[in-house]
Amino acid sequence: MDNPLFFILLTLVSASIGTMTGFGTSTIMVPVLSLFLPIPATLLFVGILHWFGDIWKMVFFKTGFHLKLILLFGVPGIIASFFAAKLPLTLPEAMLGRFLGLFLVVYVAFLFFKPNWKVNASNPSALLGGTLSGFFSGIFGVGGAIRSTFLTTFDLEKSVFLFTSGVIGLLIDSARLVQYFRSGIQLGSLVITLILCIPVSLMGAYLAKRLVDKIPQKSFRLFIAAALFLVGLRYLFA
pLDDT in tens, 115-154: 666 677 788 888 998 999 899 889 888 887 778 778 878 8
Say which amino acid occupies 37. L
DSSP 96-137: HHHHHHHHHHHHHHHHHH-TT-----SHHHHHHHHHHHHHHH
Max mean pLDDT range (21-25, 61-65, 101-105): 101-105
Q: How far apart are alpha carbons 31 and 143 in whole angstroms?
A: 13
Q: Is residue 15 within 8 Å of 210, Cβ to Cβ?
A: no
pLDDT for the residue numbered 56: 80
Taking alpha carbons only, the member of 54, 48, 50 closest to residue 181 is 48
What counts of helices (H) and strands (E) characterise the chain?
11, 0
Q: What is Dmax (Cα atoms) for the chain?
A: 47
Write down the domain spans for the chain. 4-236
Of 20-34, 36-50, 155-169, 213-227, which one has max mean pLDDT?
36-50
Question: What is the three-class DSSP state of 156?
Answer: coil
The span from the CA of 225 to the CA of 113, in Å, is 12
State yes or no: pLDDT of 80 exceeds 90.
yes
- Asked if the model's pLDDT at residue 178 lies above 90, the reply is yes
16: three-class secondary structure by DSSP: helix
190: DSSP letter: H
Residue 216, pLDDT score: 65
CA–CA distance, 84 with 120 (Å, rounded to integer): 26
- What is the C-alpha separation between 171 and 176, in angstroms, rounded? 9
* Residue 212 pLDDT: 60
Predicted TM-score of the model (pTM)? 0.83
Neighbour-count burial of 98, counting CB atoms closer than 10 A to its CB (0-12 exposed, 13-18 middle, 19+ buried): middle
Please state, in angstroms and rounded to a whole number, the distance separating the CA atoms of residues 33 and 41: 9
Residue 164 has pLDDT above 80, yes or no: yes
Confidence of residue 215 (pLDDT cuts 50, 70, 90): low
Cα–Cα distance, 238 to 235 (Å, whole number): 5
